[in-house]
Amino acid sequence: GAIEFLDKTHLKLISDWAKLDLPQRECMTILEFHSYSAAGLEEEINDAVNILRSGGAVEVVVPKSVQESERIWEARRGAYPSILKACRSPIIGDIIVPLSRLLEAVKKAYELAEKYGVRVGVMGHLGDGNVHANWLTDRRNRDEWERAHKANAELCRYAIELGGAVSAEHGIGIEKREFMEEQHGGALELMRKIKSLLDPNNILNPGIML
């Protein structure tokens, strides 16, 4: 199964890029269900539809064919290509937070976009609390680029405050080294010691994270 989320910024970008007539709402959530039987699948879908409607969903669409379902997933797969079409050098966020703090993290991304005067599109994998705040910027505009980086850094620190982490699936690399001390505390020194035992000559990926 899957629970995916696309905000209105992404819906507009995808519609323009892929020429898809997507609903221009505040957001779209995609739910995928699997079951051992057709009856079980129908029951799960009906339960989900009832929950969504009682929770205030504006529109609930249940695909009636594989083709309709594929069209929805085509929209989701178009998220990143559409970002690259819309801006030259986006900053792709990858925080993860406890599910109970998910809404706070999403709201924070929009607050930071307003604070720093930059554009952001938010999407993610709602089932595990993974939020991708994608900052739509262009490194040729140095001032905007730096403001977008500050917004992303502040959101990363906020994720740590919420009990989450600065990366869910994209890794740390060089870009997020600055957050390692805040995220791991004393455990980081233990990691360094283990690294030095296994790699005394520091020839394995030197200086990249630890």
Domain extent listing, the chain: 2-80, 87-171
Q: Which amino acid is at 200?
A: P
Tokens of 175: 């870009």
Q: What is the pTM of this model?
A: 0.84
With beta carbons less than 8 A apart as the criterion, state whether 148 and 141 touch. no
Q: What is the pLDDT of residue 142?
A: 95
With bands split at pLDDT 50, 70 and 90, how would you rate the model's confidence at 206? Answer: confident
Tokens of 184: 């791991």
d(CA 178, CA 137): 21
d(CA 13, CA 108): 21
The residue behind tokens 């994608």 is 134
Does the pLDDT value for residue 119 go beyond 90? yes
Q: Give the residue with greater pLDDT, 179 vs 100.
A: 100
With beta carbons less than 8 A apart as the criterion, state whether 167 and 111 touch. no
CATH of 87-171, one of 3.40.50.970, 3.30.70.1350, 3.40.50.1980, 3.30.70.2740: 3.30.70.2740
d(CA 171, CA 48): 33
d(CA 186, CA 80): 36
Q: Which amino acid is at 146?
A: E
d(CA 132, CA 85): 18
Domains 2-80 and 87-171 share a fold: yes
With beta carbons less than 8 A apart as the criterion, state whether 102 and 131 touch. yes
With beta carbons less than 8 A apart as the criterion, state whether 3 and 30 touch. yes
Cβ-based neighbours of 14, under 8 Å, separated by 6 or more? 6, 20, 22, 75, 78, 79, 82
Classify domain 2-80 at the CATH class level. Answer: alpha beta
Tens of pLDDT, residue by residue over 48-82, are 999 999 999 999 999 989 898 988 888 889 999 99
Does the pLDDT value for residue 19 go beyond 90? no
What is the DSSP track for 102-141? HHHHHHHHHHHHHHHT-EEEEEEETTTTEEEEEEE--TTS
Q: What is the pLDDT of residue 30?
A: 92
d(CA 167, CA 176): 8
Q: What is the pLDDT of residue 208?
A: 67
